[in-house]
Structure 1
Amino acid sequence: MRSLLSGYYGKGNGGDEALLATLLQMLPSHVTPVVLSGNPEETRDRYNVEAHDRMAIVPVLQALRSCDALIWGGGSLIQDVTSTISPFYYGGLMGLAQKMGLKTIAWAQGIGPLVRPQTRWMARQNFAGCTKVSVRDRASAALLSDWQIPHILAPDPVWALASKPLPELENLPTPRVAVTLRQHPQLTPTRLTNLTRALVDFQKATQAFILLLPFQKSEDLGIAQAIQPHLADVSQILCLEDPQILKGVFRGVEMAIGMRLHSLIMAAAEGCCCFALSYDPKVNRLMEDLTIPGWDLATLPDDPHFISQTWLEHYTNSQRISPEKIQFLIDGALTHRDLLHQVFT
C-alpha cells in the first residue's frame, strides 16, 4: 500500500519534522510513505522516502492518484489564526482524497482555534469523512465530541519518538539549560530585552551553560543570535536538523525554558524540568496536562529580576516528571501507532 503524508513538512520546523519522523517510525512496514514537502529534496535525503513539492498541483494530484490513503500527519494543521490559507489547503486535499475514495486519516491532530464559520464548517466535513481520527489534546477531543465524530485521544506522538544522542554535547560545560524562543507578535522587543536580562542573571546565579536551540531557523535563529552576545563564553547556539538528535539534546539538560510546544514535549520526555512561555492555546493545554509552570507572553512580568528569581526557584526546587509518568505518556502516544495498524491491516 502507498500512503500520502500531508503536514507542515520540509519547512525547517523542528516540531513538524519530529511529527513526520514519528509518523514514519509508526507506519506499518508494508505501507510505502509518499511525503508532500516544502523541500522535497531535503525530505527525500533525510528520511529516504519518495517526496513531492507540496505546492506543485500536478505532482500532488499524481501522488494522490498513486496512493491508497491520505494521512494528515499531526499537529495544528486545521486552524485559522496564524493562517487563513492553511485550513483550505489541508481541507481541500482531504476533501479531494475522500472524493477519490482513498482511506483518510486525521492523525494526532490539534484542532483550532477555528474562528471563521467557513473554516469551521469545512473542518467538520473533513473530519466527519475520515476513516479514522486521532487527536492529541482534550480541547480537540471535546470539539469532535460536539460534532459527534468518533475519535481517539492520546498524547502527542513525539513523546514516543526515538531520540539519538548528540556526541558534541559531551564537550560542553555542565549543568546545561536549554532555551527555545520564536518570533511572535507577543514577544515584543521590550519583552525580549527583559527575558535576556533575566537569562543573564539566571546564568550567573546557576553557573549553567545556556543552549540556545532554534527549532525553526527562519523564526528562531535571529532571536538566539540577539541573546547570545549577552552570554558570551557561557552559551552556544545549536542548529540541529535531525529531530531525533534535537530530542536527544534534552537528555543532557537540567532545565528547558521554551515557547515551542515540541521543545517542551521533547524536554519533558527526556526527563528535563520545564518552564513554559506560552503564545498559543496548545502550549497552555500542555502546561495544564503536565502542570508545567510558566507565563503567557501577553502577561509576562516586567521585572527581569522577578523572572530570573522565578526561574531560579524552579531550577532549584522543581520536581521532574517521574519516569513512570513519562512511560505512561509514551505508551499512550503509541495509541496513534495502533490506529495506523488498524487502518492498514
Structure 2
Amino acid sequence: MRVILCGYYGKGNGGDEALLASLLQMLPNNIQPYVLSGNPSETEKRYGVQAGDRLNTFTILQAMRRSDIFIWGGGSLIQDATSLASPFYYAGLMGIAQKMGLKTIAWAQGIGPLNHPITQFLAKQCFQGCTAVSVRDGRSAKIVTKWDIPFTLAPDPVWALETSPFPGLENLPTPKVAVSFRPHPQLTPSRLEILTQALIDFQKATEAFILLLPFQPIKDLKIAEFIHQKLPDHSQILTIENPRVLKGVFGEVEMVIGMRFHSLIMGAAEKCRCFAISYDPKVSQLMTDLKIPGWELSKLPEDANLISQIWIDNYANGEALLLDKIEFFRERSLIHQEVLHSVLEGIGNRK
C-alpha cells in the first residue's frame, strides 16, 4: 500500500522531524510511504523514502491518485495561533484526500489553539471525515470529545523514538546542561538578557557545560549565538538535523532548560531533569502532565539572580522521571502505532 505522510516535514524543525522519524518507525513493513516535504531531496536522503514538494499541487494530486491512505500528523498542525495559513493548508489537503476516496488518519494530533470560528469549522469537518483519530494530550482530547468524534489518546510518539549517539559528544566537558530557546513575541530583548545573565550565573555556580540546541536553526540559531557569545568558553552550539541523534544528545545531559516542546519530551525520556519556559498551551499542558517546574514566558521573573538560583536548586535537588514512569510513557506512546496498524492492516486485508 502507498501511504502519503503529511506534516510540517522538511522545514528544519527538530520536533517535527522527530515526529516524522517516529511515524516511519511505527509504520508496518509492507507500507510504501510518500512524504510531503519542504525539502524532498533531503527527506529522501535522510529517511530512505520517496518524497515530494509539499507546495506543488500537481505533485500532491498525482501522489493522491496513486495512494490508498493519507496520514495527517503529528503535532500542532491544526492551530491558528501563528497564522491562519496552517489550518487552511492542512485541512485543505485532508479535505481533498477525503474527496478523492483515500482513507484518512489524523495521527498524534496536538489540536489548537483554534481562536477563529472558520478554523474551528474546518478542523471539525476534517476530523469527522477521518477513519481514525489519535491525539497526544488532554487538551486535544477535550476538543474532539466536544465535537463527538471517536479518538485514541496517547503520549507524544517521540517518547518511543529510537536514539543514535552524537559523535564526539563524550569529548566535551561534563557535566552538561542542554538549553533550547526559540523566538517569540514575549521573549523580548530584555527577557533574553535576563535569561542569558541567569545562565551565566548558573554556569559559574555549577561549572556545567552548556549545550545550545537550536531545534529550528532558521529561527533559533540567533538566540543560541547570542548566548554563546556571552559564554564562549563554557558553551557550544549543536545544530543537529537527524532527530534520533538529537534525542540521543539528551542521554548525555544532566538537565534541560527548554522552551521547545520536544526538547522537554526528549529530555524527560532520556532521564534528564527538566525546567520549562512555556510560550504555548501545549508546553503548559506538558508541564502539568509531567510535573515539570518552570514559568509561563509572560510571567518570567525580572530578577536574573532569582532565576539562576531556582535553576541551581533544580540542578542540585530536582528529580528526573523514574524509569518505570519513562517506560510507561514510552509504552503508552506506542498506542499511536497500534492505531496505524489497525487501520492499515484492515484496509490491506480488504484489498
The residue matched to 1:72 in structure 2 has which SS? strand
Task: Normalising by structure 1, report the TM-score.
Answer: 0.99
Pairing 1:96–2:113 present: no
After superposition, residues 1-345 of structure 1 pair within 5 angstroms as: 1-345=1-345
Query: C-alpha distance in 1, partners of 2:147/2:232?
Result: 53
Query: C-alpha distance in 1, partners of 2:89/2:65?
Result: 18
Query: C-alpha distance in 2, partners of 1:293/1:239?
Result: 26
Q: Report the Cα offset of residue 167 of structure 1.
A: 2.5
Q: Report the Cα offset of residue 166 of structure 1.
A: 1.0
Deviations 1:17-46 (A, max 9, x none): 000000000001111100000000100110
Query: C-alpha distance in 2, partners of 1:232/1:55?
Result: 40
Deviations 1:296-323 (A, max 9, x none): 1111000000000010011111111000
Deviations 1:137-172 (A, max 9, x none): 001001111111000000000000001111211000
Deviations 1:239-264 (A, max 9, x none): 00000000000000000000000000
Q: List structure 1 segments (4+ residues) > 2 angstroms apart after TM superposition.
A: none
Query: C-alpha distance in 2, partners of 1:73/1:145?
Result: 19
Q: Report the Cα offset of residue 288 of structure 1.
A: 0.2
Q: Report the Cα offset of residue 336 of structure 1.
A: 0.3
The residue matched to 1:167 in structure 2 has which SS? coil
Deviations 1:112-154 (A, max 9, x none): 0001101101100100110000000001001111111000000
CA root-mean-square deviation = 0.5
Deviations 1:74-120 (A, max 9, x none): 00000111021110110011011111111100000000000110110
Q: Report the Cα offset of residue 198 of structure 1.
A: 0.2
Q: Which amino acid aligns with 2:30?
A: H
Q: Report the Cα offset of residue 236 of structure 1.
A: 0.4
Query: C-alpha distance in 1, partners of 2:140/2:238?
Result: 33
Query: C-alpha distance in 1, partners of 2:78/2:289?
Result: 22
Q: Which amino acid aligns with 2:258?
A: G
Q: Report the Cα offset of residue 217 of structure 1.
A: 0.6
The residue matched to 1:343 in structure 2 has which SS? helix
Q: Which amino acid aligns with 2:169?
A: L
Query: C-alpha distance in 2, partners of 1:96/1:42?
Result: 26
Query: C-alpha distance in 1, partners of 2:73/2:317?
Result: 38
Query: C-alpha distance in 1, partners of 2:176/2:58?
Result: 48
The residue matched to 1:133 in structure 2 has which SS? strand
Query: C-alpha distance in 2, partners of 1:91/1:27?
Result: 23
Q: Which amino acid aligns with 1:6?
A: C
Q: Report the Cα offset of residue 70 of structure 1.
A: 0.3
Query: C-alpha distance in 2, partners of 1:168/1:60?
Result: 40
Q: Which amino acid aligns with 2:24?
A: L
The residue matched to 2:124 in structure 1 has which SS? helix
Q: Which residue of 1 aligns with 2:349?
A: none
Query: C-alpha distance in 1, partners of 2:92/2:11?
Result: 20
Q: Which amino acid aligns with 2:223?
A: I
The residue matched to 1:55 in structure 2 has which SS? coil
Q: Which amino acid aligns with 2:204?
A: K
The residue matched to 2:331 in structure 1 has which SS? helix
Q: Report the Cα offset of residue 73 of structure 1.
A: 2.0
Task: Normalising by structure 2, report the TM-score.
Answer: 0.98
Percent identity between the aligned chains?
63
The residue matched to 2:182 in structure 1 has which SS? coil
The residue matched to 1:267 in structure 2 has which SS? helix
Q: Which amino acid aligns with 1:240?
A: I
Structure 1 runs not aligned, ≥5 long: none
The residue matched to 1:344 in structure 2 has which SS? helix
The residue matched to 2:107 in structure 1 has which SS? strand
